[in-house]
Chains A and B, each alone.
Chain A
């Protein structure tokens, strides 16, 4: 049988399998999307989440087309602003109780797992090695003759692509002087390199090679995007100079270990010496990068030393009240509040310190929100020019929803407060002073009373 024809046949089988997986992936994705929509809770003025259902009308109808009339009804009442009437509840119930859609919400976590596994199999298709491909040929439904023809063709193409490695026959030995001179240069470089390894290597030593590889790739992509002025596309919470510094420190350590190992080895051929010189030159240039970045960070740190304590402000309503109920917290929680506030003050003026805290809210909001915790009690806050605006205190289970709710409802108040923080307007500072005095007093009083009771 013609080898190329058999290979073509085999490629067709693979393509069919890939299409089948893609179809499965699409169905699972759709199922998961439906689950996300149906499990989403609505706001107070739209308890049934009618707006969410309508936004995803096409998606839900693609699973169950017979629900069209219910969606028309929802659209009509939504247009009229009547979201909490019986007809709407009935239509929503009919949608939510539909057997096809109920099937989607049964186990979203399992759907996600299945989806990941299918995506992994698709990915494996794209990165299949020749060995895997050969195994697939052997397990396929092709006849033995066809299998042999495919393998023959694959082997032929693989030979065409193979390159012959140049054999280095360098066996010339180098003099002891050359080695000694190299060792001197190496020691001089290491005298400068070692303090930086001591200063930074611990930060990178806990990272696995796989993680470092991801860091390397993302910095490369960031640099390429920056060349095109598109670095905003990766504008997340990472500081790319920080990562670049760590990668360079890691690179210095790798080169140092390599050179140390080579110097201990008995192989001192000329080709090895040349390789060592190249490694030393790379070590030197990497060191320059580390030195520059370290200098840059030191200057930034010096700037922030002027006043390294953050001012803690609270989001207050027009009556000067905060968005949390102090009386609802236990004596123990109030004690924790005090330690949390001290932590917040300690964040300092440097943004880089704040970036190390967990991000609570992502890019869809104009400001990032962060949390600091003391066991189960957390505070949510917005860092702003070295100071912080506290939104709320809450238990770890409630902090996210609570903070997002405040953020969404009080956006203009938040903006106003941040502006006042920047300008230190007298009204704002006064209201903060009044509140913080009473807040501190209440915390202290409750702790003292607790002490007396004991």
Chain B
């Protein structure tokens, strides 16, 4: 049960982030710079479904405030 909850939480926040990237047309290079990682690392983290929740929370905060 807890594993499912955790999985769902990661999916939800990841989808929210990707939706904001698309909606606000955020350049991935700029976003990854603000996250303190390279673009390659960014794609890898997204692709490998990183289990680092702080990464997604930080990204979500940046994206919500993106102008």
Measuring CB to CB, which residues of chain A are less than 8 angstroms from any residue of chain B? 32-33, 36, 108-109, 112-113, 116-117, 119-120, 123, 207-208, 210-211, 214-215, 217-218, 221, 224-225, 228, 233-234, 236-238, 357-360, 362-363, 370-371, 396, 400-401
State the Cβ distance, B19 to closest chain A Cβ, in Å.
Answer: 7
Whether the pair B51, A236 counts as a contact (CB closer than 8 A) is yes
Whether the pair B61, A211 counts as a contact (CB closer than 8 A) is yes
Closest Cβ neighbor of A217 among chain B residues: B9
Whether the pair A221, B45 counts as a contact (CB closer than 8 A) is no
Chain A residues in 8 Å Cβ range of B16: 210
Closest Cβ neighbor of A40 among chain B residues: B40
Whether the pair B43, A236 counts as a contact (CB closer than 8 A) is no
Chain A residues in 8 Å Cβ range of B41: 362, 400
Chain B residues in 8 Å Cβ range of A225: 2, 6
Question: Which of B5, B12, B54 neighbours the largest number of chain A CB atoms within 10 Å of its CB?
Answer: B54
State the Cβ distance, A407 to closest chain B Cβ, in Å.
Answer: 13
Known: A113-B21, A211-B64, A362-B55. 15 other contacts (CB 8 A): A36-B43, A36-B44, A109-B28, A119-B15, A210-B16, A211-B57, A225-B2, A233-B51, A236-B51, A236-B55, A238-B54, A238-B57, A359-B54, A370-B36, A400-B37
State the Cβ distance, A30 to closest chain B Cβ, in Å.
Answer: 12
Q: Give Cα distance in the complex from A357 to B57, angstroms.
A: 14
Whether the pair A112, B46 counts as a contact (CB closer than 8 A) is yes
Closest Cβ neighbor of A238 among chain B residues: B54
Closest Cβ neighbor of B56 among chain A residues: A214
Q: How many residues on the B side are at the interface (Cβ–Cβ under 8 A)?
A: 35
Closest Cβ neighbor of B60 among chain A residues: A211
State the Cβ distance, A36 to closest chain B Cβ, in Å.
Answer: 6
Q: Is the interface of A mostly helix, strand, loop or mixed?
A: helix
Chain B residues in 8 Å Cβ range of A208: 64
Q: Give Cα distance in the complex from A214 to B57, angstroms.
A: 8
Whether the pair A117, B22 counts as a contact (CB closer than 8 A) is yes
Chain B residues in 8 Å Cβ range of A218: 9, 53, 57
Q: Give Cα distance in the complex from A362 to B44, angstroms.
A: 11
State the Cβ distance, B56 to closest chain A Cβ, in Å.
Answer: 8
Answer whether A237 and B9 are a contact pair too, CB < 8 Å, given A33-B47, A36-B43, A108-B43.
no
Task: Give 1 or 0 for each of B18-48: 1 = CB within 8 Å of chain A CB.
Answer: 1101100000100001011110010111110
Whether the pair A236, B22 counts as a contact (CB closer than 8 A) is no
Answer whether A363 and B52 are a contact pair too, CB < 8 Å, given A108-B43, A119-B15, A211-B61.
yes
Chain A residues in 8 Å Cβ range of B35: 358
State the Cβ distance, A143 to closest chain B Cβ, in Å.
Answer: 35
Whether the pair A228, B47 counts as a contact (CB closer than 8 A) is no
Closest Cβ neighbor of A239 among chain B residues: B54
Closest Cβ neighbor of B48 among chain A residues: A36
Chain B residues in 8 Å Cβ range of A363: 52
Partner of B13, one of A32, A116, A214, A401: A214
State the Cβ distance, B32 to closest chain A Cβ, in Å.
Answer: 9
Partner of A221, one of B2, B43, B52, B55: B2
Q: Could you write out 12 A-B pairs with CB less than 8 Å apart?
A: A108-B43, A112-B46, A119-B15, A210-B64, A215-B57, A217-B5, A225-B2, A225-B6, A236-B54, A358-B36, A359-B37, A363-B52
Whether the pair A362, B36 counts as a contact (CB closer than 8 A) is no
Answer whether A116 and B15 are a contact pair too, CB < 8 Å, given A225-B2, A236-B54, A236-B55.
yes
Q: Give Cα distance in the complex from A207 to B19, angstroms.
A: 19
Whether the pair B37, A116 counts as a contact (CB closer than 8 A) is no
Chain A residues in 8 Å Cβ range of B54: 236-238, 359
Chain A residues in 8 Å Cβ range of B57: 211, 214-215, 218, 238
Whether the pair A120, B53 counts as a contact (CB closer than 8 A) is no
Whether the pair B53, A371 counts as a contact (CB closer than 8 A) is no
Chain A residues in 8 Å Cβ range of B33: 396
Partner of A400, one of B5, B38, B64: B38
Chain B residues in 8 Å Cβ range of A396: 33
Q: Give Cα distance in the complex from A215 to B60, angstroms.
A: 11
Q: Give Cα distance in the complex from A36 to B9, angstroms.
A: 25
